[in-house]
C-alpha cells in the first residue's frame, strides 16, 4: 500500500467567479455545500436545517406530547435533461427522489406535493406522459399526491418542465438515523451498482450506444429501507447518493461524524457498461448520480446480517460491504485501489454532470 | 338595474392549441382550472386533492387518534418577473404566498421548505438579497424554514431564479374553512384594496409612473386570520385572491358551494392609482393578483362584527363588505355596477398578467 498523498487534498479547484452563480453550485458537491453554508444556513438559523439531513424531522408542539411519531419534511427540485430517458422520466424521478429522501431519513413516506414550472409550448402529450408516470410512481411507492401548483413561463425562459416535489412522512419513535452517528468500526454498505442513473442520462445526451440498454436505476427505496430496519434496527445512517454520487454522501458523513471512511475499490459494484462509459467520458463512477441506490452505515457486528437482509430484497440483490469507518483521517474519505494504492476521494468541486436530476 | 345578459357567459375564449401548454395555463383562471380537472385530478385521485383548497388537510394515521389537530400542507412555485419590484421581491412573495395559503385554510403556519432553481450567471448579490428578504419574511410570519434545495440550470434555460416553497401548519380541531361552505344570506368581505400587487409589477414592466409610489401588498396574513377567527369562529371560507384575482377566487367559491355571488362594485376598495393604471393597461382590477389581501365569507348576522375586528388589524384597515351569497344563479358571480347595471364576472380564461407571482 502506498502512502496516501496529502497534497491530493489541494486538488485544483476551478477558478470561481464569486459574483455569479455557476452550474457547479447545483452539483451537489463542494460549491453547493459552500453556498448552503455561507448563504442559506446563516439566514435561516435553526437546528433542523443545520442538521443538513436529507429531510427535516419536526416536533409539532400543537400535537399531544404523547405522540408516537415525529414528522419528516423534505423538498427537491428536478431539472433533469432530457425529460425522458432510458428507465424513467422527470416525473418518476421527482416522485422517487422525494420518497427516497424521506425513507433514508427513517421516515415512512406518506404525502407528496408537486409544483410544475412549465415552459410555454411544452407538448401537452409530454406533460400527460409525465403526469401518468408520476401517478404510477406514487402507487409504486405507496404515497398520495395531495397538493400541487402549476406555473407557466414564457418560451425560452424555462426548459420544458421543472418539477419540485415536497414530501411528508412519519418517523417512528426512537428511530434516529443521522450523518452524525457513524463510529469507528462501523461498516459501509451499498445496495447495488453505482452510476447507472447518471450514465444512462449521459449516454442519451452524448449519443453513446452499448450492447445492452443502460437504464436509470430510479426506484422507490422505502420498501428496502423498511426491510433493512426490521432486520437491523441499529443502522446508524442511510443516504441515497444522488447528485455528487457516493463521494459527496460519504464526505458529508465523514465531516458530520468526524470520522474517516476507508473504501475498498474492488468491493464497489459498478456495471461493466458504466465503467466503460465512465472511461470514455472521463468520469469517475464514485461521483456519478444514482436514483435508486442507498448507502448504509452499521455497527461492524451486524454488517453481514444486514447484507443478507438487503440481498433478499429485489432492490438490494447486488448489495455489498464496500468499506469501514475508521478513526484515522477524520473528515476524509480514502479509497484503496484494486492495485493497492490509496487515494483521497474528495468532494466534487465543480459540476461534473449538470442537470442529472 | 338592467337584466343580466346571459350571452355574456359565452364570452369569446381565445383559440387554444390543445397540443401545447400556453401561458394561460398558468393564469390561475379557466385554462388552469381545466388543466387541473382534466390532467392532474384524474391522475392523483384522492379526496384531499379533489377538494381543491389552497392547502391539503391531512389526517396522519401514525399519530394518536386523540390528537387535537390536523396537518395542513401546501406548495407553490414563484416565477415573478422582475425579481425585485416596489414593495417586495420573489423571496418575500415565496414566503408569504405559502404562509397565506396555510392561513386561509385555517392552519397556523409552522414550517417552510424552499427549493431554488437558479439560472447560471445570476448575480450572487441578487441571490443574497433574496435569501435575506426570505429570512426577514419568515421572522415576520413566525415560521421556520427547515428544508431546502438548490438546482442550477444552464444560461438561457431559466430566468434568474424560480423559488418553490412548501409549507406545513396545524389546523385546530373542529375548524373547517372550505370552498364548499358558503350559504345564501352570507356576506363577502375583503381585507383591503384590490390589485395593488399586480399593478405594482406591471408598472415596473411597462415603465409607468404614478404620483405616489405604488407598492405590492405582499404581506403575511396569518396574524389577521387569527384575529378574525377569534372574533368570529363561524367564518365559512377564506381565500387570498392571488393569480386570477377576486374573480377567480369567487368563481371557485360559487362553483364549490353551488351558490351565486352578488358583488356591489361601489363597495369594492380599489386605490385610485390602481384604477387609473388598469384603465391605461386595459385591465380589470377584479382580475388582478393580490399578495396580502383576503376574501372572507361569513353568516350575514356576524358580518358587521367581523368587519370591525378586521379594521382594528393593520392589514385590515380598509376592509369592506363587498357582496353577498344568494341562491339565484348558482355557480355564477355577478357585479352590480356603480351605474346600476349588472354583469357576469366570469373566470379569466387566458393569461392577463403572465408571471405575476
Q: Which residues of A touch B144 (CB under 8 A)?
A: 44, 46, 48-49
Interface touch B73/A147, C-beta < 8 Å? yes
Q: What is the pLDDT of residue A218?
A: 97
Q: Tell me the three-class secondary structure of B330-347, residue by residue.
A: CCCEEEECCCCCEEECCC
Contact A158 B154 (CB under 8 A): no
Residue A13 pLDDT > 50, yes or no?
Answer: no
pLDDT band per the 50, 70, 90 thresholds, residue B52: confident
How much is the pTM? 0.91
Q: Which residue of A has its CA nearest to B81?
A: A153
Q: Which residues of B touch A156 (CB under 8 A)?
A: 156
Query: What does the pLDDT average to over B112-132?
Result: 95
Whether A289 has a pLDDT exceeding 70, the answer reads yes
* Beta-carbon separation of A118 and B26 below 8 A: yes
pLDDT band at A281; cut points 50, 70, 90: confident
CA distance B6 to chain A (A): 31
- Of the candidates A49, A77, A354, the beta carbon closest to that of B145 is on A49
Mean pLDDT computed over B42-49: 83
- Least trusted range by pLDDT, from A212-216, B135-139, B256-260: A212-216
Question: What's the distance, CA A300 to chain centroid?
Answer: 23
In a 3-state reduction of DSSP, which class is residue A237? strand
Q: Looking at the predicted structure, is the pLDDT value of residue A173 above 60?
A: yes
pLDDT at B100: 97
Q: Give the CA-trace dihedral at B35, B37, B39, B42, to 10 degrees.
A: 170
First to last CA, chain A: 37
Q: Is the per-residue pLDDT at B12 higher than 60?
A: no
Comparing CB atoms, the residue among A73, A119, A135 nearest residue B44 is: A135
Residue A124 to residue B148, Cβ atoms within 8 A? no
Q: How far is B301 from chain A (nearest CA, A)?
A: 32
pLDDT higher than 70, residue B67: no
CA distance A156 to B292: 30
CA distance A40 to B269: 39
Residue B338: per-residue pLDDT: 84
User: For chain B, what is the mean pLDDT?
Assistant: 89
Q: Which residue among A68, A117, A135 places its CB closest to the CB of B162? A: A117
Query: What are the chain A neighbours of B121 within 8 Å (beta carbons)?
Result: 20-21
Can you give the pLDDT at residue B7? 36
Residue B103 confidence (pLDDT) above 60:
yes
Q: Where are the beta strands (DSSP E) in chain A?
A: 56-58, 69-78, 84-85, 88-89, 108-119, 144-153, 161-172, 187-190, 237-239, 260-264, 295-298, 320-326, 333-336, 342-344
Nearest CA in chain B to A117: B77
ipTM: 0.91
Nearest Cα neighbor of A311 from A213, A243, A224 is: A224
- Cα angle, residue B78 at apex, residues B73 and B79 outer, rounded to 5°: 160
Contact A150 B62 (CB under 8 A): no
For residue B102, give the chain A residue with the closest CA: A147
Q: Which residues of B touch A35 (CB under 8 A)?
A: 150
Contact A164 B75 (CB under 8 A): yes
Tell me which residue in B36, B108, B124 faces A21 most closely, judged by beta carbons.
B124
Radius of gyration of chain B (CA): 20
Nearest to B60 among A44, A113, A170 (CB): A170
Q: Is B33 exposed, middle or buried (0-12, 13-18, 19+ CB in 10 A)?
A: buried
Q: At what angle do helices A272-281 and A196-206 cross, to 10 degrees?
A: 50
Of B281 and B234, the structure prediction assigns the larger pLDDT to: B234
Is residue A213's pLDDT more than 80?
A: no
Percent helix / strand / coil, chain A, rounded to 5: 35, 25, 40
Element (H, E) at B254: helix B245-257
**Nearest residue of chain A to residue B65 (CA atoms):** A67
**Predicted local distance difference test score (pLDDT) of residue B68:** 54
Q: pLDDT band for A33, please (50, 70, 90 cuts).
A: confident
What does the pLDDT read at residue A350?
64
Measured distance CA(B170)–CA(B55) in Å, rounded: 11
Mean pLDDT of A288-293: 96
The predicted model gives B335-345 an average pLDDT of 93
Chain B nearest-CA distance from A281, in A, is 20
pLDDT (mean) for A74-97: 97
Query: What whole-number percentage of chain A has pLDDT above 70?
Result: 91
pLDDT at A332: 97
Q: Is 50 exceeded by the pLDDT of residue A122?
A: yes
Instruction: Tell which of A17, A77, A173, A240 to mutate to test the B interface (max B CBs under 10 Å).
Output: A77
Confidence label for B63 from pLDDT (cuts 50, 70 and 90) = low
Amino acid at each position: 500500500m502506498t502512502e496516501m498523498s496529502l497534497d491530493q487534498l489541494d486538488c485544483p479547484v476551478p477558478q470561481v467567479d464569486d459574483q455569479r452563480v455557476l452550474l457547479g453550485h447545483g452539483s451537489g458537491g463542494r460549491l453547493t455545500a459552500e453556498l448552503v453554508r455561507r448563504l442559506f444556513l446563516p439566514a435561516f438559523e435553526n437546528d433542523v436545517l443545520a442538521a443538513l439531513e436529507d429531510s427535516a424531522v419536526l416536533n409539532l408542539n400543537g400535537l399531544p406530547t404523547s405522540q408516537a411519531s415525529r414528522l419528516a419534511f423534505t423538498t427537491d427540485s428536478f431539472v433533469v435533461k432530457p425529460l425522458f430517458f432510458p428507465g424513467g422520466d422527470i416525473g418518476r424521478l421527482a416522485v422517487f427522489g422525494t420518497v427516497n429522501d424521506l425513507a433514508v431519513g427513517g421516515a415512512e413516506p406518506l404525502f407528496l406535493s408537486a409544483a410544475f414550472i412549465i415552459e410555454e409550448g411544452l407538448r401537452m402529450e409530454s406533460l400527460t406522459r409525465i403526469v401518468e408516470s408520476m401517478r404510477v410512481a406514487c402507487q409504486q411507492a405507496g404515497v398520495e399526491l395531495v397538493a400541487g401548483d402549476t406555473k407557466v413561463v414564457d418560451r425560452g425562459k424555462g426548459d420544458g418542465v421543472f418539477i419540485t416535489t415536497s414530501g411528508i412522512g412519519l418517523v417512528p419513535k426512537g428511530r434516529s438515523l443521522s450523518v452524525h452517528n457513524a463510529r469507528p468500526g462501523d461498516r459501509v454498505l451499498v445496495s447495488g451498482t453505482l452510476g447507472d442513473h447518471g450514465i444512462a442520462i449521459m449516454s442519451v445526451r452524448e449519443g453513446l450506444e452499448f450492447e445492452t440498454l443502460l437504464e436509470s436505476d430510479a426506484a422507490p427505496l422505502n420498501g428496502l429501507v423498511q426491510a433493512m430496519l426490521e432486520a437491523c434496527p441499529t443502522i446508524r445512517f442511510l443516504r441515497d447518493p444522488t447528485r455528487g454520487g457516493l463521494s459527496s454522501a460519504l464526505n458529508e458523513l465523514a465531516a458530520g461524524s468526524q470520522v474517516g471512511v476507508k473504501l475498498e475499490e474492488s468491493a464497489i459494484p459498478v456495471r461493466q457498461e458504466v465503467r466503460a462509459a465512465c472511461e470514455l467520458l472521463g468520469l469517475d463512477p464514485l461521483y456519478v448520480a444514482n436514483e435508486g441506490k442507498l448507502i448504509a452505515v452499521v455497527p461492524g457486528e451486524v454488517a453481514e446480517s444486514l447484507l443478507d437482509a438487503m440481498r433478499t430484497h429485489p432492490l438490494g440483490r447486488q448489495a455489498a460491504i464496500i468499506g469501514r469507518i475508521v478513526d484515522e483521517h477524520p473528515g476524509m474519505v480514502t479509497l484503496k485501489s484494486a492495485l493497492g494504492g490509496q487515494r483521497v476521494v474528495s468532494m466534487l468541486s465543480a459540476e461534473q454532470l449538470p442537470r442529472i436530476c
